[in-house]
Structure 1
């Protein structure tokens, strides 16, 4: 999560933008080769995808040929280069950036902010939040505020970070009953994001939260005086978290914007927590009433 998670779900912009791969003084060729190798795509395969030739791709990567602006963007698309880094490729090739980076509080994004706020508020009483590329919370609904209830104030001070808050030993971690599995899922998710985005800020966050003490093997899956229940056939790994003496189970779903034309918008993700069992549904609706 990135800014303070207010119960009203209002968008905050206290978090800075994460750093992407900087433009290199060596030109666009080495950058493109780096992305191609990271994606494990051969020159021939990339050429076929982009409607070019392996010879031309080789010339571009070695600096013997300067690609057109259209070719840079076409190669970036087929290599699944993030929008922020497509700007870096264009700059390295001698072209102007194509994608703006509009501050989230800019009037030009009024419709986006209002739409996202309506979306996560309409999801109540179930938890939902919006994060940026380094998991800073830019909006959250009352369901999220409910899960954060009782945490230390210093952990709730903006900018609020979803990964840090979830895995910190004084955050939600002690409340998560299947912390070992959930921690492994979150760290693997961050590793995939690092491979995709090449973000120094994201790597630093990963190293911080990965260094938090792992859960002890004695971590019980039952609440005090709780009888073992019939196992629930979950269709995905749930986050099982204790709240007010109850065990709640959620399945996480993450949505992004299709074909974003702005760096800020491209790096936003909406995470919704779907109740994974009838008891969780019943309890959350009782809170709403």
Structure 2
């Protein structure tokens, strides 16, 4: 009797067939759909998933591309198939990534006076601009000690959470995004982070209201209370590198916060001018 990939525990070693089947199931593709997209035989794909045939290195890479598997996990697929990893993982301090570091810094500085942060795969802060201090003011010192986790900082009861006017709504947005990343990567540390953040207080807003847009809203806003300037409202965007071949670069993202009203824009420009 075969074991479904969905029932395997995270600690169970998976062969290439089981890993491919798990990724295909996550992408909700049938064997025929994946075979057609990747231009491979449905029969051969079935044999690979059941362990009756070993895929070539090229086939593993092709299937991973069509399954939109992250680079780190593509290396795991290659290893499971008996091949060497294809994608390097550099340190941001390496000279080879100096242009990447410079590009990130330029993007962050160019966004001032509005806040922007660069984070890695696990939402740990890599860099931030001058505007970040405004939105993190009042957070406990231990949450600002490296490595700073941006999601923990935002939802922790001693972090930004007490100042977020729409905490339930923002929490739902953050947890939903993190949940999708857990599904996409199966990263155990992200799973642990999701479990931790899910235990934090949800605020006073109704959970039902948190899922519904207010009149005129087109994105989930971050509504932040301040002592001196009243309530500031932000919307955010996520930027990633378009064609990464290095794992570290592929896992970098920049979250940039834009003022969602004229009052917020005026306050930030006056504060950081």
TM-score by length of 1: 0.85
Call closer, same or farther: CA 1:91–1:207 in 2, change over 3 Å: same
- Quick one: distance in 2 between partners of 1:39 and 1:238? 29
Report whether the alignment pairs 1:249 with 2:233. yes
Report the equivalent of 2:51. Answer: 63
Report whether the alignment pairs 1:187 with 2:171. no
Kindly report which structure 2 residues correspond to 1:224-239, keeping only aligned pairs within 5 A, or say none: 233-239=216-222
- CA contact 1:132–1:267 (8 Å) conserved in 2: yes
- Quick one: distance in 2 between partners of 1:28 and 1:158? 37
Choose from 169, 176, 193 the match for 2:164. 176
CA shift for structure 1 position 244 = 2.9
CA shift for structure 1 position 23 = 10
Report whether the alignment pairs 1:167 with 2:155. yes
- Quick one: distance in 1 between partners of 2:29 and 2:179? 20
Report whether the alignment pairs 1:216 with 2:204. yes
Structure 1, unaligned stretches of length 5 or more? 1-20, 219-230
Report the equivalent of 1:268. Answer: 252
Could you list the per-position Cα deviations for residues 235-257 of structure 1 after superposition, in whole angstroms to 9, with x for gaps in the alignment?
A: 21110001233210000111111
Structure 2, unaligned stretches of length 5 or more? 1-8, 207-213
Report the equivalent of 1:151. Answer: 139
Choose from 97, 116, 139 the match for 2:127. 139
Matched residue SS, 1:116: helix
Number of residues of Structure 1 aligned to a counterpart in Structure 2: 257
Could you list the per-position Cα deviations for residues 175-217 of structure 1 after superposition, in whole angstroms to 9, with x for gaps in the alignment?
A: 0001110111111111111110110000000100110122135
Call closer, same or farther: CA 1:241–1:25 in 2, change over 3 Å: closer
- Quick one: distance in 1 between partners of 2:14 and 2:102? 42
Matched residue SS, 2:238: strand
TM-score by length of 2: 0.90
- CA contact 2:169–2:205 (8 Å) conserved in 1: no
Report the equivalent of 1:40. Answer: 28
- Quick one: distance in 1 between partners of 2:36 and 2:202? 46
Report the equivalent of 1:78. Answer: 66
Matched residue SS, 1:129: strand
Could you list the per-position Cα deviations for residues 69-128 of structure 1 after superposition, in whole angstroms to 9, with x for gaps in the alignment?
A: 111011001111111000001111111100000011111111100110111011000000
- CA contact 1:251–1:273 (8 Å) conserved in 2: yes
CA shift for structure 1 position 232 = 7.8
Q: Which has the higher contact order (CA 8 A, sep 6+)?
A: 1
Report the equivalent of 2:75. Answer: 87
- Quick one: distance in 2 between partners of 1:139 and 1:153? 17
- CA contact 1:130–1:271 (8 Å) conserved in 2: yes
